[in-house]
Amino acid sequence: MDHPHISSAEDDARLAALGVTSDFDRSMSMLENFALGFTYLSPVVGVYTLFDASLHTGGSPMIWSYVIAGIGQFLVALVFGEVVSQFPISGGIYPWSRRLVGRKWSWVTAWVYVWALFTTIAAVATGAAPFLALLTGAPSTPLITTAIALGLIIFSTACNLVGTKLLARVAMFGFVCELVGALFVGGYLLAFHRVNSLASLLDPMNAAPTNGSYLPAFLAASLLGLFSCYGFEACGDVAEEIPNPGKQIPKAMRMTIYIGVGASIFACAALLLAVPDIPAVISGQAPNALSDVLFNAFGSVGTKGVAAIVMISFMSCVLSLQAAVSRLIYSFARDRMIPGAEVLSRISPNSHVPTTALFVAGLVPSLIALLGLFAVDALTSIVSFAVVGIYVAFQMVVAGALYARLRGWHPSGDFRLGRWGMVINIGALVYGVLAIINILWPRTPDAPWYINYSMWIGLAAVISTALAYLALRRPHLNGTTGYADAWLISPRQGKPPLS
């Protein structure tokens, strides 16, 4: 049975006051909105993708990178919560930066984020291949890896095209499977296969040099936390698909951090305490710590069960990423900021989703994934841009919020930080800048230069193309929606800030 189009008069009136008319279906609950952010963050994808590399680089203390990144990203989520509460517009980062700073700033922000999400979708889909190969017994060849990635992207596109209701249900299903799976696997390992003490989580062992600081090793291994602690922004990307978004989305964002990062720490700690010989992993003698732990604990049959849960996590992660980028493309196109805007800004009258934008969100990542057939190094260089691109786009919003505050912006949405707003905003910006520096820092001097500086190259290419198109075609002049007006339309309200 088709779900009727749901529209809240109050929500529509708020959008109309912002100069926006919405054709989306407001059928997503707050819990489903949270599930979308959770599956985007995906604790299982983060832990299972980077566990071996991070343990080899930084030893067990690498787990504390989750705490640092979680606190830093919580500050970012609070800033985003204030912004989305006042500007509950689909597309998230693009309309927020447009209202906080202006059209040019928002164009560059959205361009960086679109390409970061394209490459992230390709990276996650490609990363799922080894687990499906483990589940089916298929060899992990470039052809099979690419085929699995393409199949996952096509499946995700098909699900997203059905509509918001299916997106919400699949996200909720993915959330339940991932959380229950993480708790079961982690609980079983802690109960029956723990071989290390809790003190080992503070012991770098031979990851720390004999003469020198452990800090460089920890910073390199901290990419685990940096890679795993975002995703809450996806809650705001679908702001026009949830009733009362000004209250519900900030709450969903915070829940994503609480539960998502908490689940990541639990899963990672359980795996670390079950690794039989951590020094051997650090030295490179036992490079497959994750699979060794799973096979030792669950055997070949049980490990396939774990792989099935991991595959669901990868699937729901791709689904959420694709939903986020499609709404960003749609919002970008609705303001006539990109080529093909008329087609990309169309909402299907049946499914109430941006159909063409979703096709683009499937096609471009598929083309990126196809590079794995011809040049694995090229694919690695491209997808490595994903994390830094997301962090840069996030910080452009955080910096934009600080700029707006200095211009006199007083957030007037249902969620406000009150007198703590400026302090939290500055803290979020400091964290983000330090995280970007850490991500970009070259750490493989013996590798080819294009690998060592692949993130720099990717970031420079995306920003330079954004600036070039902005200068040549002046797309920012096309839209009629408000811009740089956050401090002009935000009189203080009599209600106290919400926590």
Domain count, the chain: 1
The domain in which residue 285 lies consists of 25-90+114-374
492 domain-assigned: no
459 domain-assigned: no
Task: Give CA–CA dist 291/299, Å, rounded.
Answer: 10
What is the per-residue pLDDT for 194? 95
416 domain-assigned: no
51 domain-assigned: yes
**pLDDT tens track for 443-478:** 877 777 777 888 898 899 999 999 999 999 998 888
349 domain-assigned: yes
What is the per-residue pLDDT for 497? 40
DSSP one-letter string for 429-448:
HHHHHHHHHHHHS---TTS-
Q: What confidence tier does 499 reach under pLDDT thresholds 50, 70, 90?
A: very low
Closest CA to 314 of 5, 54, 42, 34: 42
Closest CA to 98 of 490, 485, 489, 491: 485
| Phi/psi-derived region of residue 350, left when phi > 0, alpha when psi is between -120 and 50, beta in every other case | alpha
Dihedral angle over CA of 83, 86, 90, 96, nearest 10: -40
Contacts of 193 (CB under 8 A, 6+ apart): 274, 293, 296, 297
295 domain-assigned: yes
249 domain-assigned: yes
**pLDDT tens track for 24-64:** 888 899 999 999 999 988 888 888 888 999 999 999 999 99
Residue that is written with structure tokens 């900030």 in the block: 250
**pLDDT tens track for 109-157:** 999 999 999 999 998 998 888 888 878 877 778 888 889 999 999 999 9
Looking at residue 219, which CATH number applies to its domain?
1.20.1740.10
Task: Give CA–CA dist 167/361, Å, rounded.
Answer: 15
161 domain-assigned: yes
